[in-house]
């Protein structure tokens, strides 16, 4: 029996859509490309979602009003965002937690080490894996059918309407469909073509690591764009973090992130600094460092700290390279010792020490140094010293399908009646570039729920017509 609503994908956005559609009375089939043990996509790696609130609420302290959330988003995207869509996601973030709880998600106060986010981000107890598992359990209770190892290769469209999805030779029809199959971050060839060759003759994407699932290959994104669906975003824009160069190619997750950048300096392969490490709070800046490293020779950087930084950041899974002096550290990192020491000596000399406070945009900064370090600048002078080699870690890509407040896929500006999109596949409508921590899950939850509601409405309307 074919379902009312077909949901393609198995992460947060897909599950939110499936749950909403089932709650609205539709029969739902969810198709997840991954095997059961790897279900949940990038969502299973998450820790939190960003929530607006006007007063303290359960796990959130103080207030984080709509306007502040919007200004944060405006700043990180440099204006490359759609205000209507962004505000919709922001407002939805105020009220979604009760619904999430009803489906088994539990929240906890921020863990120590998750700096600055007690006010803005609600953390999932057990992380994204527990969230995803709770949603699958709830979906099962509501009668949602889930199939694993079910990668949809293409869909059939007639005059902008969804007709069927194909898995190999198998054709699955439904009255409506939600696409929530992630970005294209795991298609390394697509990344390679998108990033192209640089002025040094390198193919930068060859040195990228993928932080999340290997199943987000963008098969349907590419297919939909070929079918003429309206697009949004630039294929080189993505959430990209500087991660430990020793991380695995896929699924290294959160524990490979290197979070000590703002406490020290970062140099490239030539031993030179290339960006202000103390520009802003880390949750507002961590997602630009992948791109910054991608622009360096060999797509590699080195985060350098001294003993004063220890205990002030979430320790990554692999220990840093440790040395008792800076020249020894340079040697161990295989950097040119003279160039490295020149950079470090210049930096140490230029630090104007104020009152160091990592919870504030403090007054410790460099003077007369290019690039400047504008906050938390303290000389690196206390052994032992540590260095971490950094590679660009792609979290998710922003190229997606253009949509509107109804989450409908559009063909030449016309919204489809029964094909909807949610999550990474449309996050580019809100995120033209940049990122602020936790907004991926805010977007996926808001638009997953909208897409599920709309898909159920479209399907049930069609069923009523068929019965009439
Ligand atoms: C390490 C890491 C940490 C993160 N931490 C956070 C965080 O704390 N807060 C936050 O807001 N965001 C975080 N993000 C980003 C967040 O994961 C995404 O924004 C969000 O999960 C996207 O949800 P989604 O459902 O669109 O995609 P996903 O969760 O990736 O789900 C996509 C699903 O589609 C399936 N799929 C792909 N292609 C097909 C196909 N052709 N047919 C069928 N199924 C298919 C995949 O198997 C997968 O299940 C993090 C990401 C990573 C990688």
The model's pLDDT over 31-67, given as tens digits with 9 standing for 90+, comes to 999 999 999 999 999 999 999 999 988 899 899 999 9
Per-residue pLDDT band for 287 (boundaries 50, 70, 90) equals confident
Ligand 1, atom 6: closest residue by C-alpha = 46
Q: How long a stretch of residues is the chain?
A: 468
- Whether residue 114 has pLDDT greater than 60: no
- Which of 42, 135, 174, 400, when mutated, tests ligand 1's pocket best, judged by the most ligand atoms within 8 Å of its CB? 42
439 within 8 A of 73, measured Cβ to Cβ: yes
Annotate 393-416 with b (16+ C-beta within 10 A) or e (fewer): bbbbbbbbbbbbebbbbbbeeebb
> In this predicted structure, what is the pLDDT of residue 282?
87
Determine the atom of ligand 1 nearest the C-alpha atom of 14: 25
The Å distance, Cα 332 to ligand 1 centre, comes to 36
State how far the Cα of 181 lies from the Cα of 437, in Å rounded to an integer.
21
Question: How does the average pLDDT of the chain come out, rounded?
Answer: 95
Nearest to 86 by CA among 462, 403, 413, 453: 403
The Å distance, Cα 446 to ligand 1 centre, comes to 14
- Whether residue 115 has pLDDT greater than 70: no
- Whether residue 259 has pLDDT greater than 60: yes
106 within 8 A of 126, measured Cβ to Cβ: yes
Residue 109's CB is within 10 A of a number of other CB atoms, namely 14
Ligand 1, atom 13: closest residue by C-alpha = 46
Q: Could you give the 3-state DSSP secondary structure of residue 101?
A: helix
Locate 240 and state its tokens: 């990209």
State how far the Cα of 97 lies from the Cα of 105, in Å rounded to an integer.
8
Rounded percentage of the chain residues whose pLDDT exceeds 70: 98
Show the ligand 1 pocket: residues with CB < 6 angstroms: 8-14, 31-34, 40-43, 45-49, 150-152, 180-182, 211-213, 215-216, 219-220, 253-254, 395-396, 423-424, 438-441, 444
Taking the CA of residue 390 as centre, how many other CA atoms within 13 Å lie in the half-sphere pointing to its CB? 33
Nearest to 40 by CA among 7, 9, 5: 9
The Å distance, Cα 365 to ligand 1 centre, comes to 37
Locate 265 and state its tokens: 């300096």
394 within 8 A of 367, measured Cβ to Cβ: no
* pLDDT tens digits, one per residue of 199-219: 999 999 999 999 999 999 999
The Å distance, Cα 199 to ligand 1 centre, comes to 33
Nearest to 167 by CA among 219, 215, 221, 230: 219
- The whole-number average pLDDT for the span 309-321 is 93
- Which of 130, 440, 451, when mutated, tests ligand 1's pocket best, judged by the most ligand atoms within 8 Å of its CB? 440
175 within 8 A of 463, measured Cβ to Cβ: yes
Within 66-174, strands assigned E span 107-108, 121-124, 145-147, 154-158, 161-167, 170-173
The Å distance, Cα 72 to ligand 1 centre, comes to 22
**Domain spanning 239-393: CATH 3.40.50.2300:** no
* pLDDT tens digits, one per residue of 60-77: 989 999 999 999 999 989
- Identify the DSSP state of 110: P
pTM: predicted TM-score of the whole model, two decimal places:
0.94
Ligand 1, atom 5: closest residue by C-alpha = 46
| Helix (H) / strand (E) containing 152 | none
> In this predicted structure, what is the pLDDT of residue 437?
87
Domain boundaries, the chain: 5-183+218-235+398-467, 239-393
> In this predicted structure, what is the pLDDT of residue 283?
79
- The whole-number average pLDDT for the span 430-443 is 93
The Å distance, Cα 168 to ligand 1 centre, comes to 23
Within 209-264, strands assigned E span 209-210, 231-232, 238-244
The Å distance, Cα 196 to ligand 1 centre, comes to 25
Sign of CA dihedral 96, 102, 106, 109: positive
The Å distance, Cα 179 to ligand 1 centre, comes to 13
Rounded percentage of the chain residues whose pLDDT exceeds 90: 90
- Identify the DSSP state of 320: P
> In this predicted structure, what is the pLDDT of residue 112?
61
Per-residue pLDDT band for 109 (boundaries 50, 70, 90) equals confident
Per-residue pLDDT band for 407 (boundaries 50, 70, 90) equals very high
Ligand 1, atom 35: closest residue by C-alpha = 9
- Whether residue 140 has pLDDT greater than 80: yes
| Helix (H) / strand (E) containing 351 | strand 351-352
> In this predicted structure, what is the pLDDT of residue 321?
98
> In this predicted structure, what is the pLDDT of residue 462?
82
Alpha helices in 106-182 (DSSP H): 127-141
Locate 400 and state its tokens: 């997606």
- Whether residue 285 has pLDDT greater than 90: no
Give the residues across from 267 on adjacent strands: 273, 302
Determine the atom of ligand 1 nearest the C-alpha atom of 239: 15
Residue 463's CB is within 10 A of a number of other CB atoms, namely 15
Determine the atom of ligand 1 nearest the C-alpha atom of 216: 37
- Identify the DSSP state of 80: -
- The whole-number average pLDDT for the span 17-38 is 98
Q: Could you give the 3-state DSSP secondary structure of residue 386?
A: strand
The Å distance, Cα 11 to ligand 1 centre, comes to 6
Determine the atom of ligand 1 nearest the C-alpha atom of 12: 25
Annotate 43-68 with b (16+ C-beta within 10 A) or e (fewer): bbbbbbbbbbbeeebebbeeebeeee
Pick the CATH number of 5-183+218-235+398-467 from 3.30.365.10, 3.50.50.60, 3.90.1150.10, 2.20.25.90: 3.50.50.60
The Å distance, Cα 228 to ligand 1 centre, comes to 24
Nearest to 452 by CA among 391, 407, 385, 387: 407
């Amino acid at each position: 029996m074919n379902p009312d609503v077909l949901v393609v994908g198995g992460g947060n956005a897909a599950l939110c859509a499936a749950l909403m559609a089932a709650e609205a009375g539709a029969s739902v089939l969810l198709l997840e490309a991954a095997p059961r043990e790897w279900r949940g996509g990038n969502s299973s790696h998450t820790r939190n979602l960003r929530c607006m609130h006007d007063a303290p609420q359960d796990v959130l302290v103080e207030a984080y009003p709509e306007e502040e959330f919007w200004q944060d988003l405006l700043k990180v995207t440099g204006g490359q965002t759609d205000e209507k869509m962004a505000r919709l996601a922001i407002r939805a973030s105020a009220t979604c937690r009760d619904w999430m709880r009803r489906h088994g998600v539990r929240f906890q106060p921020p863990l120590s080490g998750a700096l600055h986010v007690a006010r803005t981000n609600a953390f999932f107890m057990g992380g994204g894996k527990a969230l995803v598992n709770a949603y699958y359990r709830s979906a099962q209770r509501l009668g949602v059918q889930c199939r694993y190892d079910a990668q949809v290769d293409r869909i059939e469209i007639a005059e902008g309407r969804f007709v069927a999805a194909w898995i190999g030779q198998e054709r699955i029809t439904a009255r409506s469909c939600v696409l929530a199959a992630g970005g294209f971050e795991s298609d390394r060839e697509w990344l390679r073509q998108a990033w192209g060759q640089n002025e040094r003759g390198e193919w930068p994407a060859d040195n990228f690591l993928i932080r999340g699932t290997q199943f987000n290959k963008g098969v349907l994104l590419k297919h939909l764009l070929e079918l003429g669906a309206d697009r949004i975003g630039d294929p080189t824009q993505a959430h990209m973090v500087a991660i430990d160069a020793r991380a695995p190619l896929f699924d290294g997750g959160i524990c490979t992130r290197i979070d000590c950048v703002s406490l020290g300096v970062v140099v490239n392969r030539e031993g030179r600094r290339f960006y202000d490490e103390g520009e802003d709070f880390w949750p507002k800046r961590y997602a630009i460092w992948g791109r910054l490293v991608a622009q360096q020779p060999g797509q590699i950087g080195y985060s350098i700290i001294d003993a004063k930084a220890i205990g002030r950041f979430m320790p990554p899974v692999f220990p840093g390279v440790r040395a008792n002096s800076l020249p020894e550290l340079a040697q161990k990192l295989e950097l040119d010792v003279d160039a490295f020491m020149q950079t470090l000596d210049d930096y140490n000399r230029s630090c104007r020490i104020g009152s160091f406070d990592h919870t504030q945009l403090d007054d410790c900064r460099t003077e007369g140094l290019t690039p400047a370090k504008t906050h938390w600048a303290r000389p690196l002078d206390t052994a032992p010293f540590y260095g971490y080699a950094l590679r660009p870690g792609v979290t998710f890509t922003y190229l997606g399908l253009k949509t509107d407040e109804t989450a409908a896929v559009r063909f030449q500006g016309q919204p489809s009646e029964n094909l909807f999109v949610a999550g990474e596949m449309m996050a580019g409508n809100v995120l033209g570039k940049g990122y602020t921590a936790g907004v991926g899950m805010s977007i996926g939850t808001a638009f997953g729920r909208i897409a599920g509601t709309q898909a159920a409405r479209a399907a049930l309307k069609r069923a009523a017509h068929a019965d009439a």
